[in-house]
Amino acid sequence: MATTLAPVDSREVVRCDYCHLVQFRTNNNLCRKCKVSLDEEPEPVIVQAPPVPMPMRHGHSQIQVASAIRTLRQRNGMSQRQLAARMNVPRTYVSKIENEKATPTLSSMERLATALGVTVPDLLSGANSREDEIKSLMSDPFIAEMMMDVHRLNLLQMSQVLTQVRDMTLHPRRMA
C-alpha cells in the first residue's frame, strides 16, 4: 500500500503506508525498506499537490526571481551548497530554483529570503532593486569618475579593482 505524493520531474514519489518510507516508485512496485507491495490500494490518494506558481507583481516572471536569487546568493559570496544548508534543503533544490526547473513555495521563499538576508518582497523585486542600485552607484562622483577610465584597464587590473570593491562592500571599515 502506498500514498502517492507530488511527482518529481517524471518520477512518481510515494510513501509506503506500512513503514512510511518516502521513496520513488520502484520497477517491481515493492517498498525498498519493508518489501510490501505498493500497489495494493486501487486508487492512490494524493496527499500533497505540486506547488502552484506564485503570482508575480508587476509582470515579473519566474526567470527574474531565479535570476534575483542567483544574484543575491553570489553577492553574498555563497555557494548553492551553503545556501541550501542555511535553508535546510538539498543543494539540488537550490539549483532547480535557480535554473527555473522548480518554483519555490511560499515557505521556501521565506527561508530563501532569511538565508540571503533580505525580505520576501526584496527577493521578488530583485531585478528592480538592481537597476536602482546601479543608478545609485552611478550618482556617486568617485564611481562616475572611475567609469570614465575603466576601458583603459586590462583584465588583470579590472579583476583587481573588482576584488577590492567587493571586499570593501562585504567588509566595510569603520570611519574614525
Interval 47-85: pLDDT, tens: 554 554 544 444 445 567 888 888 888 888 889 999 999
Sign for the CA dihedral angle at 153, 158, 161, 162 comes to positive
Amino acid making up residue 24: F
Average pLDDT estimate for 120-141: 70
Flag whether pLDDT at 86 surpasses 80. yes
The angle at the Cα of 53, spanning 50 to 57, to the nearest 5 degrees, equals 165
Say whether domain 57-128 belongs to CATH 1.10.260.40.
yes
112 or 168, greater pLDDT: 112
Amino acid making up residue 91: R
Q: What pLDDT, on a 0 to 100 scale, did the predictor assign at position 62? A: 58
Q: What share of the chain in percent tops pLDDT 90?
A: 5
Q: What is the mean pLDDT of the chain?
A: 75
Average pLDDT estimate for 12-21: 81
Q: What pLDDT, on a 0 to 100 scale, did the predictor assign at position 20? A: 81
Average pLDDT estimate for 165-173: 73
92-118 pLDDT tens trace: 999 998 888 888 888 888 899 899 888
Flag whether pLDDT at 161 surpasses 50. yes
Flag whether pLDDT at 40 surpasses 80. no
Q: Which of 45-49, 129-133, 154-158 has the lowest mean pLDDT?
A: 45-49
- Give the Cα separation of 154 and 22 in Å (integer): 54
Q: DSSP strand E in 25-172: where?
A: none
Stated pTM of the model: 0.41
Q: Grid coordinates standing for 94? A: 537550490
Q: Grid coordinates standing for 32? A: 525498498
Flag whether pLDDT at 154 surpasses 60. yes
Q: Provide CB contacts within 8 A for 14, sequence distance 6+.
A: 2, 3, 4, 5, 22, 23, 24, 25, 38, 44
